[in-house]
Amino acid sequence: MQQQMAFTSSVRGAALHKPRAASYGVARARLAVRGQAQQPPRSVQTSSTATAEAVTNGIVTSPLFRLSYDTDNEHPDLTRSWKKTMKIAVTGAAGQISNHLLFMLASGEVFGRDQPIALQLLGSDRSREALEGVAMELEDSLYPLLREVKLGIDPLKVFEDADWALLIGAKPRGPGMERSALLDINGQIFQEQARALNEVASRDCKMLVVGNPCNTNALIGIHNAPDLPARNWHALTRLDENRAKCQLAIKAGKFYTSVTNVAIWGNHSTTQVPDFLNAKIGGVRVPNVIRDQQWLKEEFTPKVANRGGALIKKWGRSSAASTAVSIADHLRSLYTPTPTGDCFSTAVYTAGNPYGLDEDLVFSMPCRSTGDGNYEVINDFVIDDWLRAKLEESEQELRKERDCVGHLIPGASKAVCAITEDTMLPGEN
């Protein structure tokens, strides 16, 4: 059975389409499949120059290019069971992290082979053409689950009806920039994006903040999107978890799949706490497998926290690919039931948390999921005196960050920045 996938490009041609707002460059790919209504093809802008040339008397002219997708290549049970299209907004979509992530999303590797998606990609005036190039590569990859690609530079347009917002884009830390300045600059970005999400996204939209300082950017998001559930905001600490598993496996001489129940506590900074106390290797608690207490308490955490900087020294590049993989892992953890006795790490809102933490922070904790996209914080992790002291250190840092961005948090009781030390992860800002 032949189904039609339609792509369009903005060059001179025959089909007529009404122009769209200049602030909202659009690229779309639509696939009609069995069990879904056929829809007309939509226009795709692939070049700002070509678009300007193709507008005459307010009319955009675009030729249509069609490719056939044979659903007989897929098992009928698969195509019949394809779910309602999930709309995924991605910021920083022309960047290196997204260059890896978007193709994992489109392939079905993340949300499943029965989950169609629409990608809504946010860029900037400067990245407009690069973003159009990303859309072209997605088109050329012919992913059957990718129903639509939409490009824009206006978050109010790109976030419309989004089910997920992957907030990757942020300003990198420049030479000599104080951490307080970075908190303010990126905080303003996330304040604006949160307000847009609050206005136009799905009412159950889930947000994953990757742009750093991600914990505090997520907190800013929570307070500027009051109509969205606070528990739906996540800050990425899954890369830290993956790095911790790697280091424990190497030290124990085991393969990483034997390492389970590894939690990252606290901030995505050098005050993060990779939890070896509750982690297991081959079902046995780590301290009973790795008996080198000095390594566990003094070397393990710096190895995890400084991994990004070490990678840059070796390769001259930041950890874009492994970050993209960790985003995919994070999302899969929410849509795959957590195995008994295991957990995954995510930084979430602390309101009602079982560990006595300040209840107005975004703090990484061990979580589990039943596979429905939601999570619960695991409440029975062992916290000894050493671990408690480490958690308090990261908690105090997040309080200071919150005070630094108090001017971006409606109703904040304090807006004074007292951060003097530099705890940013090397190579990631």
Catalytic residue IDs: 268
Q: Which of 145, 130, 156 is nearest to 27 (CA)?
A: 130
Q: Rounded to the nearest 5°, which phi and psi values hold at 310?
A: -65, -35
Amino acid at 257: T
Contact 344, 241 (CB under 8 A): yes
Dist. CA 30–CA 415, nearest whole Å: 47
Q: Which two tokens stand for residue 416?
A: 């004074």
Dist. CA 367–CA 338, nearest whole Å: 9
DSSP-derived letter for residue 285 is E
Dist. CA 24–CA 15, nearest whole Å: 20
Q: Which of 157, 47, 176, 34 is nearest to 91 (CA)?
A: 157
Q: Which two tokens stand for residue 360?
A: 């107005």
Q: Which of 429, 15, 48 is nearest to 212 (CA)?
A: 429
Dist. CA 152–CA 158, nearest whole Å: 6
Tell me how many degrees the CA angle 385-387-391 measures, rounded to the nearest 5. 115
Dist. CA 363–CA 402, nearest whole Å: 12
Burial of 208 by CB count in 10 Å (0-12 exposed, 13-18 middle, 19+ buried)? buried
